[in-house]
Amino acid sequence: MKNVIVSPSILLCDYLHLEKELEKIKEVGCDWIHLDVMDGHFVPNISFGNLFFERLFSKIDFVKDVHIMVTEPMKFVKQFAKAGADYLTFHYEACKDDKEVAEVIKEIHKNKMKAGLSIKPGTPVEKVFPFLTDLDLVLIMSVEPGMGGQKFIPETLDKISALINEMVEERSNALISVDGGINDITGKDCLNIGADVLVAGNYLFSASDFKEAYKNLLK
């Protein structure tokens, strides 16, 4: 059985009790956390910034899965490298062309991070194909980025399937991550097709029993 990675998104956790929320993640044996960066331009909301993460990361021991929903992602690479990100995922749609996408990937690797590329629901999955051999992670958004608590878009499953087929052809070892509307049902659907990483926020942090909700994602 393949190793399933759950990456809890702290976007929807209780910020006033962040330390306790992080303890819940660690207690269930989860090694990853997902952190969303929104600039108010690429997406309408504003979330955390690199200075917040720099302080947070110095106190925690997780794989730090950072998703930047920002315009001009190149400007942010060194900032998040300094903050301590392990994976840095940016958006295909934030770049003006494929050349810029390739340059950002190269810059992420230059700064000793793993590179991820994300696409919005309306972007064809084929847009990531030219970069598969250089990527460490592909993040498929199963909701429109920028807002938590949305419903999973079923067509996401077709994208995962097409992506896997191309990855086999290209011999790519990138992880496939899915973010948005993930719960015990949609998560299982994604894993059954071949996804590696489930990004879950609302399902986990709104659950009455975090541990049980986490276990349900692994089944």
d(CA 98, CA 127): 9
Looking at residue 98, what is its pLDDT?
98
Looking at residue 69, what is its pLDDT?
93
| Cα 155-161-165 angle, rounded to 5 deg | 150
| Plot region of 180 (φ>0 → left; ψ -120 to 50 → alpha; else → beta) | left
Looking at residue 39, what is its pLDDT?
78
- Average pLDDT across the chain, whole number: 92
- Residue 143: pLDDT over 90: yes
Strand partners, 91: 118
In single-letter form, the type of residue at position 132 comes to L
- Residue 170: pLDDT over 70: yes
Burial of 148 by CB count in 10 Å (0-12 exposed, 13-18 middle, 19+ buried)? middle
- Residue 149: pLDDT over 80: no
Looking at residue 54, what is its pLDDT?
79
Range 52-75 average pLDDT: 88
Give the DSSP letter of residue 162: H
**Residues forming the active site:** 36, 179
Range 1-7 average pLDDT: 83
Taken in order of first residue, the domains within the chain and their CATH numbers are 5-218 (3.20.20.70)
Strand partners, 90: 117
Q: pLDDT grade, residue 44 (50/70/90)?
A: low
